[in-house]
Structure 1
Amino acid sequence: MDFALSDEQEALVDAEHAWLTKNDPLVRLRESPEGKAPRLSPVEVRHLTESGLIGLLTAEIGGTHVDLAVLVEEHGRSCSPIPLAELAVAARLLDLLHHPLRGDAESAAEIVLPALGSLERSALHAEVDGRTLTLNGTTGPATGLADATHILITCVTTSGSEVAVVLPVAAVTIRTLRTLDLTRSWSVVELNTTVQADQWFNLSTGTVAFVHDELTVYRSLDALGAARRLVDTTVGYARQRTQFDRPIASFQAIKHHCANMALSTETSRAALWAAAVALDGDADNRGRAVSAAAAFAGEGTSTTAQIALQVHGGIGFTWEHDLHLLLRRIKVDELVDGSVSFHRRRLVTA
């Protein structure tokens, strides 16, 4: 595939990089009380409102999944707590459903986030009885739910139909999780509710699978961004750290480590961009492209994090260094929205 970013996409990512550099999420994380999960700040909410990024995938703006992909990678690199991909995916669905909240969600007046059953061993059950929808069980882990005003549930019912329902957070139970990731809040939605006919929507067959594929790609792109930062950090550290009066970057073993990290991130990016292109219109190859990219990038970014820790040595284990925050984020990304082994199994049966 011959693929390169357009001038507009380059400008888009440069602008977001500049904003994230100015409003460094890790600086705010370091200043917050220890053990407190990051929440969206007024500055971040204002940025979402003014930039219009939430509505990127809606018909009005007409952006592509590749446009969103480069932005999500940048947010992963910065360890941003903003669930940008999730907000954009929810806004696309609300637009598709012509839901009354679609305008408010795109302007961040309302924060609507998607929640689905886990790809592996889903504990979310939905049943349609006449014109009534009953939801029971627990969704898969999702980030940013602590800041949501509404939850967009999409699922496959026991009869095989696909449905969506938008619920205010007051109508559900959001259970916060303790995870390795200290840079974002993670939660699940616990459901035991009945929804009347005018409150839920039928979806086209395959919609839920498409949303799963979207979130899978963006989770991997988030990890890629963090891995890319680790490559830059590790190369910089190797040039400064000396042993035997020589920078360790001059040692062949360290050179090989850094080269392998760089190769892994670049090839992972190529695979994930190909998956983003498939999301934009290659329905026949979408599932294979998504799982191939998720499996390859999942293993690659995790290995990159482990090598970065090895090159840094003892300093990489310290609380004060950013390395452990990036590593933790990557390891959680590796497990959410389908593990490496899940996507490899999916490829075998595709």
Structure 2
Amino acid sequence: MELTWGEDFAALTDVSKSVFARYSPLDDRSNTVPFAEQVRQFAELGWLQLADPSGTGDESASLGTIAAIFVEMGRALAQTPLLDLTVARDAAILAGSPTATALAARIGDGDAVVVPAFGTENWGSAVSVTGGSATGRVLGVEYADQAESLLVHAVADGESLLLLVDSAEVSVEAMPNIGGHPTFSVTLTDVAMTDQRTLARGSAADHAIDLASQRGDVLRAAQVHGAGMRLLDMTVRYAQQRHQFGGAIGRFQAVQYLCTDIAVNAHVTSAHTRAAATAIDTTGDGRPYVDLMRNQAILTAREMVHCAHEVHAGIGYMVESNVHLFTDAAKRWQFDFGDAADLNSSIVSAITEIYEGV
């Protein structure tokens, strides 16, 4: 498999660097861009409609190309709703119904702020439909306090439903966390179901949610890669500047090994991310490449901050240091990916599935 990013990756990288400089806390902790302005800027840049996950768009960018934006987003540690809006639009396009298609167009134009509330096994979320009403709770929903509507995965008599629920019909509660991520609990209580609200059901709903989630995981892994490369730069620079025992600490092999571990994991994450993006673009389904990528991204998120703290020692825990910002982000990424209890067994399973299909 040719492991290359998309054709316009470099061009998008240059633009993304300048955009996310405004959002990054690494150079200025006071950097804040209002939510509405973020959505407007992403829409004006065309970032909300770069790709058509259905594969029917004539000018649709590849997933590997779009990843350029998210690599730089991770490098800047920028907190934005771009990933959530992208996943919501992808799911709406894949749902395929007229209502869903119209919704996708509005998200792409920046006229509708919709975030996914799919829930995951890791969060233990569940929404069920009985008697024509939806009830349940979805945890870990980002920007639920700013969204106009939510795309909710619900189950009715064993059948999946993809529902569009107005934010005024749900209860939103903040979930405080050490990283300050805009994460919320969304509770549905007897929300009435209508045909207009149901964007897809059965296998169509499962396909839309699964593929949109796979694509979202690829873009999240791209963020991990970008963050790893930025953290590597910071750690190497510190090892060159910090002097102890008569010279820079970077001259010690133990420090060099730690920097090397960050570099290796970040680059391996890049390779897995490109492989998963290519599989999705060419076949419409990235499993099990996405599973391998997720496991590597978990490992990278964990190891890169561990190694960086080892090199920076006590100063890395100081509020003035940026290292702890990467730690906060890495912990969230680990949880988002599921942080498998047994990485080795899941990796072996994914590799076996790949080679059995060759």
**What amino acid is aligned across from residue 30 of structure 1 in structure 2?**
R
Alpha-carbon offset, residue 170 of structure 1: 0.9
Give the aligned length.
338
> Is 1:276 aligned to 2:273, yes or no?
no
Tell me how large the CA RMSD over aligned residues is: 2.5
Which secondary structure state, in structure 2, belongs to the residue aligned with residue 26 of structure 1?
Answer: coil
**What amino acid is aligned across from residue 234 of structure 1 in structure 2?**
T
Alpha-carbon offset, residue 343 of structure 1: 6.9
CA contact (8 A) 1:264 1:300 kept: yes
Q: TM-score, length-normalised on structure 1?
A: 0.87
CA contact (8 A) 2:236 2:259 kept: yes
Alpha-carbon offset, residue 328 of structure 1: 0.7
CA contact (8 A) 2:127 2:138 kept: no
Q: TM-score, length-normalised on structure 2?
A: 0.85
Tell me which residue corresponds to 2:356. none
Alpha-carbon offset, residue 53 of structure 1: 0.5
Separation in 1, partners of 2:8, 2:216: 24
**Deviations 1:231-258 (CA, angstroms, capped at 9, x unpaired):** 1110111111111231111111111111
Tell me which residue corresponds to 2:60. 62
Tell me which residue corresponds to 1:189. 186
**Deviations 1:286-312 (CA, angstroms, capped at 9, x unpaired):** 221111111122112211111101101
**Aligned match of 2:174 in 148, 173, 176?**
176
Which secondary structure state, in structure 2, belongs to the residue aligned with residue 274 of structure 1?
Answer: helix
CA contact (8 A) 2:75 2:226 kept: yes
Tell me which residue corresponds to 1:35. none
Which secondary structure state, in structure 1, belongs to the residue aligned with residue 325 of structure 2?
Answer: helix
Judged with a 3 Å threshold, the aligned counterparts in structure 2 of structure 1 residues 249 and 27 are, in CA distance, closer, same or farther, namely: closer
1:253-264 maps to which residues of 2 (within 5 A)? 253-264=254-265
Q: Percent identity?
A: 22
Judged with a 3 Å threshold, the aligned counterparts in structure 2 of structure 1 residues 67 and 343 are, in CA distance, closer, same or farther, namely: farther
Alpha-carbon offset, residue 215 of structure 1: 2.9
**What amino acid is aligned across from residue 191 of structure 1 in structure 2?**
L
**What amino acid is aligned across from residue 25 of structure 2 in structure 1?**
L
Which secondary structure state, in structure 2, belongs to the residue aligned with residue 164 of structure 1?
Answer: strand
Which secondary structure state, in structure 2, belongs to the residue aligned with residue 152 of structure 1?
Answer: strand
CA contact (8 A) 1:212 1:337 kept: no
**Deviations 1:127-163 (CA, angstroms, capped at 9, x unpaired):** 365xx4x3222113132223211111134x2433332
Separation in 1, partners of 2:266, 2:113: 32
Separation in 1, partners of 2:142, 2:196: 28
Separation in 1, partners of 2:340, 2:185: 21
CA contact (8 A) 1:55 1:92 kept: no
> Is 1:202 aligned to 2:203, yes or no?
no
**What amino acid is aligned across from residue 290 of structure 1 in structure 2?**
V
Question: Structure 2: which 5+ residue stretches go unaligned?
Answer: 354-358
Separation in 1, partners of 2:346, 2:163: 28
CA contact (8 A) 1:150 1:167 kept: yes
88-97 vs 318-327, which moves further: 88-97
Question: Structure 1: which 5+ residue stretches go unaligned?
Answer: 33-37
